[in-house]
Amino acid sequence: MITININGQARQLDDDPQTPLLWVLRDSLDLTGTKYGCGIAQCGACTVMLDGEAVRSCSLPIAALSGKQITTIEGLSNNGTLSKVQQAWLEEDVPQCGYCQSGQIMSATALLRKKPSPNTEDIDQAMSGNICRCGTYPRIKKAIQRAAKS
């Protein structure tokens, strides 16, 4: 048994310790907001926060997570109230297909926790590892800037 903390709750898992966090979230815990994209930590669709840092869950074995705080997209809202990043995403009409958006939101949230008033370069650097096939990058940047102001 492995115990990990996800969205503020200790969860006991009977999964193989080398199982990537992504598959534990989706298959064992039914937290399906985190998406599978490439499986090699390149696209960002599977991004979650680990102790406040954006990380790729597809390549992170659960054995490495003891004592760490994991936040998924499901853990951002508070009693039905969207986080400021989620709200800005809606206000800027960011998603087109929406598949990459949970990873994008997690990376943006981690950025704003680290740098509450990021400049354009900070945003570009923090978001450079998240791929959006629909190309909504200008709206993503606007949403991050909006969230930073709220």
- Structure-token pair, residue 121: 């370069």
H-run or E-run covering 126: helix 120-127
Q: Would you say residue 94 lies in a domain?
A: yes
pLDDT at residue 34, rounded to an integer: 98
The CATH number of residue 28's host domain is: 3.10.20.30
* Residue 16 half-sphere exposure toward CB, CA atoms < 13 A: 6
The last residue of one of the domains, among 15, 38, 73, is: 73
**Same domain? 69 vs 95:** no
The CATH number of residue 113's host domain is: 1.10.150.120
The last residue of one of the domains, among 47, 73, 99, is: 73
Phi, psi of 10 (to 5 degrees): -75, 130
How far is Cα 65 from Cα 146, in angstroms, rounded to an integer?
33
The pLDDT tens digits of the residues spanning 50-79 come to: 999 999 999 999 999 988 999 999 999 999
Q: Would you say residue 78 lies in a domain?
A: no
> pTM of the entire structure?
0.95
pLDDT at residue 25, rounded to an integer: 98
The pLDDT tens digits of the residues spanning 103-143 come to: 999 999 999 999 999 999 999 999 999 999 999 999 999 99
Owning domain of residue 12: 2-73
pLDDT at residue 1, rounded to an integer: 87
How far is Cα 144 from Cα 105, in angstroms, rounded to an integer?
9
The pLDDT tens digits of the residues spanning 1-58 come to: 899 999 999 999 999 999 999 999 999 999 999 999 999 999 999 999 999 999 999 9
The last residue of one of the domains, among 73, 93, 123, is: 73
Number of domains forming the structure of the chain? 2
**Same domain? 6 vs 68:** yes
**Same domain? 17 vs 63:** yes
